[in-house]
Structure 1
């Protein structure tokens, strides 16, 4: 019985220790591959968040373009549909392309970093394209 109590206490302590969060990674000074992977993923998450915000703005600009085009006639409406189609295709392309980039280190510890880094770079470039689309619409 005493052993069971000790075992339970040890397991509880181990569970509490595992529940503690790791300290944040200093991405400016990342040294381990795990930290570099984490930082690359965080870069991608940040870029993706910005992309989503700009995409919403682009949708609004395309909705306005469709409203204006509707005045000419219903055959001229389709800016929102085109943007959504392009965005879906772009996401598929980005993910496939970046998975391919990851094969440079297939099975290795840096594969995730390569994929996330590629996704961050491509996402930042797409965000720029969407901003240019918005500006081109006069918004």
Structure 2
């Protein structure tokens, strides 16, 4: 019986990302997968912006006194706090459809939206000269 369940689970795995037409997603499963892909793309952008912001923070730290908290430390701590906030806020947003097939769409859409907003903040900080 366990082998049959494993086989069913394998057959039910989602299609590969290149097989999804996110512009015309019609099923809830496809919309959920597209929302996850959107978050993954947003997360890649976030990581690039964080690297630029961290470089900026480190350059600011070149001339601080020993009593100042380094900007790089502040940025790292802020990013960790933001990740915790995003995770909790999006978990809450997903409860609008708790247990329903739309819950992943709400969850991943929230992740993408929050990540894009954070990316913009990091870009603004990273562009300071």
TM-score by length of 2: 0.85
Structure whose residues are more often helix by fraction: 1
Residues 1:80 and 2:72 aligned together: yes
Which of the residues 113, 116, 120 maps onto 1:124?
A: 116
Shift in Å, 1:57: 1.0
User: Is residue 2:62 matched to residue 1:62?
Assistant: no
- In the TM superposition, structure 1's runs of 4+ consecutive aligned residues that sit over 3 Å from their partners are none
Provide the C-alpha distance between the structure 2 equivalents of 1:93 and 1:132, rounded to a whole number of angstroms.
20
Q: Which runs of 5+ in 1 are unaligned?
A: 1-13
SS at 2:19 equivalent: coil
Stretches of structure 2 lacking an aligned partner (at least 5 in a row): 1-6
Between Structure 1 and Structure 2, how many residues are aligned? Answer: 118
User: What is the 5 A alignment of 1:6-17?
Assistant: none
Residue equivalent to 1:9: none
Q: CA RMSD in A?
A: 1.9
Q: How far does residue 62 in structure 1 lie from its aligned partner after superposition?
A: 0.4
Of 31, 34, 56, the residue aligned with 1:36 is: 31
TM-score between both structures, scaled by the size of structure 1 = 0.79
Contact kept? 1:41, 1:117, Cα under 8 Å: yes
Aligned partner of 2:42 in structure 1 is 47
Aligned residue in 2 for 1:100: 92
User: In 2, distance between residues paired with 1:127 and 1:116?
Assistant: 16
